[in-house]
Amino acid sequence: MIKIENIQKSYISKSNRVNVLDDVSLTIQKGEIVGLLGSNGAGKTTLIKILCGLINPDGGNIYINNKIFSQKSLMYISTVLEGNRNLYWRLSIIENIEYFLGIRGYSIKNKTEKINTILKTFNLIDKKFELVKNLSRGMQQKVAIIIAILCETEILILDEPTLGLDVKSNKEMIHFLKQIVESENKTILISSHDMGLIEQLCSRAIIISNGKIITDNTIENLNSVFEIKSFIITLNKKLENHQRDKLLSSLNLLQISELEDKCEVIFNIKENNEIYLVLEILKEFNVPIEKFEQRDINFEQVFLNIIGDENANGSIQYI
Ligand X SMILES: Nc1ncnc2c1ncn2[C@@H]1O[C@H](COP(=O)(O)OP(=O)(O)OP(=O)(O)O)[C@@H](O)[C@H]1O
Minimum CB separation of residue 40 from ligand X in Å reads 3
Q: Among residues 38 and 138, whose Cβ is nearest to ligand X?
A: 38
Q: Among residues 128 and 193, whose Cβ is nearest to ligand X?
A: 193
Q: Among residues 51 and 119, whose Cβ is nearest to ligand X?
A: 51
Q: Are strands 289-295 and 229-235 parallel, antiparallel or unpaired?
A: antiparallel
CB of 201 closer than 8 Å to CB of 176: no
Minimum CB separation of residue 213 from ligand X in Å reads 12
CB of 219 closer than 8 Å to CB of 206: no
Q: Among residues 212 and 246, whose Cβ is nearest to ligand X?
A: 212
Q: Among residues 210 and 224, whose Cβ is nearest to ligand X?
A: 210
Minimum CB separation of residue 126 from ligand X in Å reads 33
CB of 230 closer than 8 Å to CB of 263: no
What is residue 288's DSSP assignment?
P
Minimum CB separation of residue 86 from ligand X in Å reads 15
Where helices occur in 104-153 by DSSP H, the ranges are: 112-121, 137-150
Helix (H) or strand (E) holding 279: helix 273-285
Q: Among residues 45 and 96, whose Cβ is nearest to ligand X?
A: 45
CB of 136 closer than 8 Å to CB of 172: no
Contact footprint for ligand X (CB under 6 A): 11, 13, 20, 38, 40-46
CB of 39 closer than 8 Å to CB of 191: no
Residue count (the chain): 319
Minimum CB separation of residue 186 from ligand X in Å reads 22
Minimum CB separation of residue 36 from ligand X in Å reads 9
Compute CA 132 distance to the chain's CA centroid, rounded to the nearest angstrom. 27
